[in-house]
């Protein structure tokens, strides 16, 4: 086994978050690069003795080069899927160029890239697939050999493609669909993607090669709808293809029916509008594995969802970093005045007992008080392009740093004492919600909720002060209902408190 660590980029994403533990289990040393290392350190494998988590940004060449220092092989699993980010092609190009520079300056043996299928010269090739092919060319033009794996739709619990399929079929007994539902596609299970990513490490012949990877089935999206309905025990879905639904309109419809936002649904739909099938299968001889067909993959994904064993989810990746004023030592950020609203209740309980209720907040549990108002806020947020409440949460009990939680993102978590959420809803400013549990002696804890807001301009100030009358009612109602959920006696409060500044980075 090579003693040099393997660099994994994109470790907070859907594929990277599953590849890293596979490599660790196989006995490799891993160096995982992330803009926010906390999001990897909190994973079950984040403290494994063979992993080193380092801070680095793919768009910052200097940090990328430093992160790759001393490594042998690099996995390049970075790709922007968000169509709302107008500069995604520039970001993909810049990050790929930085990967090449990091590989050359550190004399890496190989880069392993997970790209996309689709004919590069197809007249209907989407912007995102064009960007993937451009990244492929940039990497392969460098001096370091590249193993380029091209995949189409990746199916598995938590993948964006699977979640889009799941919600559409679960919720719609009849679908008016675009013509691309009949376009041939060759899906591959996430398990087989990981098999190939790990397998090529031990096959030097794959260096310098572009290899198509796909499952054993060539299907249309219509076929996948039929298979999913059968495996989920649903009645047959009626499908009516029409010629007028463009990928853009399809994405808007997907956003209406599923938690997948239009900015993600659009590149997925565009990727299905042209045939995406393997043109060659050399990888099957180089890395022989047992391929999972789409039916078995969908069956496994549904079972993992029922058992709440989803390792990574499509919304794990991305998410804004905590704003500058929330990071260590920057609470008094000079960019403006931080507005605060703090509330507290004291319970006859232990910290662990109260934490049981706190860690279940959001998703199916809801927000403990005034749920119709939270839902209305989610609808308004979705209407203006935010995630809304429908994104839910990856697991109904477990939380970890980086998890999406309705229209929040977990940015700090110290069980059983602290949960810090960053708002990803559309608002004229940056918002944090902190929940703290403070032991105050035997069988006595203080439960606090503190909202903080850094407004942007007059609109931000108007937004905050218009909500001030509701804050006391809302947060104190939430505190009462959390107490009721625990079944513990209220000793004091709820009451209003002063709120000190938060600290995000406690590593």
451 forms beta bridges with 341, 433
User: Does 212 score more than 70 pLDDT?
Assistant: yes
User: Does 208 score more than 80 pLDDT?
Assistant: yes
User: Does 500 score more than 70 pLDDT?
Assistant: no
Give me the CATH topology for the region 6-306: Rossmann fold (3.40.50)
- pLDDT at position 320 is 55
| Cis peptide bond upstream of 494, omega within 30 | yes
pLDDT above 70: percentage of residues in the chain = 91
Of 121, 120, 30, 25, the C-alpha closest to 67 is 30
Instruction: Report the C-alpha gap between 469 and 479 in whole angstroms.
Output: 17
- Domain positions in the chain are 6-306, 324-497
- pLDDT at position 76 is 96
- pLDDT at position 192 is 97
Confidence of residue 206 (pLDDT cuts 50, 70, 90): very high
Residues 242, 178 contacting (CB under 8 angstroms) = yes
* Chain segment 461-488, per-residue pLDDT in tens: 999 999 988 999 999 999 999 999 999 9
The token pair at 461 is 């100030």
Give me the CATH topology for the region 324-497: Alpha-D-Glucose-1,6-Bisphosphate; Chain A, domain 4 (3.30.530)
* Chain segment 371-426, per-residue pLDDT in tens: 999 999 988 888 877 778 878 888 888 898 888 899 999 988 999 999 999 998 88
Four-point Cα dihedral 168, 83, 452, 494, nearest 10 = 0
116 contact partners, CB below 8 Å, separation of at least 6: 128, 129, 132, 133, 150, 151, 152, 271, 276
Higher pLDDT among residues 503 and 195, named by residue: 195
- pLDDT at position 487 is 93
Same fold, 6-306 and 324-497: no
Instruction: Report the C-alpha gap between 394 and 359 in whole angstroms.
Output: 12
Instruction: Report the C-alpha gap between 334 and 422 in whole angstroms.
Output: 20
* Average pLDDT of the residues in 32-60: 90
């Amino acid at each position: 086994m090579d003693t040099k660590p393997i660099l994994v980029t994109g470790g907070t994403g859907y594929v990277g978050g599953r590849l890293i533990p596979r490599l660790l289990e196989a006995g490799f040393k891993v160096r995982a690069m992330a803009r926010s290392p906390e999001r990897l350190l909190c994973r079950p494998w984040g403290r494994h003795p063979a992993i080193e988590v380092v801070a680095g940004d793919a768009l910052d060449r200097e940090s990328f080069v430093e992160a790759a220092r001393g490594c042998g092989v690099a996995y390049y699993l970075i790709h922007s899927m968000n169509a709302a980010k107008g500069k995604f092609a520039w970001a993909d190009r810049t990050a790929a160029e930085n990967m090449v520079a990091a590989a050359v300056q550190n004399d890496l043996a190989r880069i392993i890239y997970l790209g996309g299928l689709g004919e590069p010269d197809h007249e209907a090739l989407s912007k995102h697939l064009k960007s993937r092919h451009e990244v492929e060319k940039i990497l392969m033009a460098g001096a370091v050999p590249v193993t380029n794996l091209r995949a189409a739709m990746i199916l598995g619990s938590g993948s964006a493609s699977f979640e889009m399929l799941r919600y559409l079929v679960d919720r719609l007994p009849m679908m008016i669909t675009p013509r691309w539902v009949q376009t041939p596609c060759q899906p591959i299970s996430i398990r087989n993607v990981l098999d190939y990513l790990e397998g090529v490490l031990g096959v030097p012949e794959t260096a310098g090669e572009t290899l198509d990877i796909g499952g054993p089935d060539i299907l249309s999206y219509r076929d996948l709808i039929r298979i999913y309905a059968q495996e989920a025990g649903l009645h047959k879905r009626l499908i009516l293809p029409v010629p007028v639904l463009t990928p853009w309109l399809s994405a808007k419809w997907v956003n209406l029916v599923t938690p997948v936002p239009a900015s993600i649904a659009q590149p997925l739909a565009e990727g299905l509008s042209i045939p995406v099938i393997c043109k060659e299968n050399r990888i099957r001889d180089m890395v022989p594995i047992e391929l999972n067909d789409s039916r078995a993959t969908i069956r496994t994904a549904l079972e993992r969802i029922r058992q709440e064993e989803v390792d990574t989810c499509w919304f794990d990746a991305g998410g804004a970093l905590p704003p500058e004023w929330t990071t260590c030592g920057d609470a008094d950020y000079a960019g403006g005045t931080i507005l605060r609203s703090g509330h507290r209740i004291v319970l006859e309980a232990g910290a662990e007992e109260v934490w049981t209720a706190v860690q279940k907040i959001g998703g199916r549990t809801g927000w403990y008080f005034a749920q119709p108002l939270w839902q209305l806020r989610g609808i308004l947020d979705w209407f203006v392009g935010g995630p809304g409440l429908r994104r839910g949460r990856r697991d109904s009990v477990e939380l970890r740093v980086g998890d999406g939680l309705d229209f929040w993102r977990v940015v700090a978590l110290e069980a059983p004492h602290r949960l810090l959420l960053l708002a990803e809803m559309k608002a004229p400013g940056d918002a944090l919600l902190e929940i703290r549990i403070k032991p105050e002696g035997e069988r006595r804890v203080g439960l606090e909720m503190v909202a903080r807001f850094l407004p942007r301009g007059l609109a931000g100030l108007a937004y905050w002060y218009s909500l001030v009358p509701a804050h006391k009612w809302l947060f104190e109602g939430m505190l009462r209902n959390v107490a009721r959920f625990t079944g513990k006696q209220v000793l004091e409060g709820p009451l209003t408190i002063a709120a000190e500044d938060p600290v995000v980075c406690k590593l």
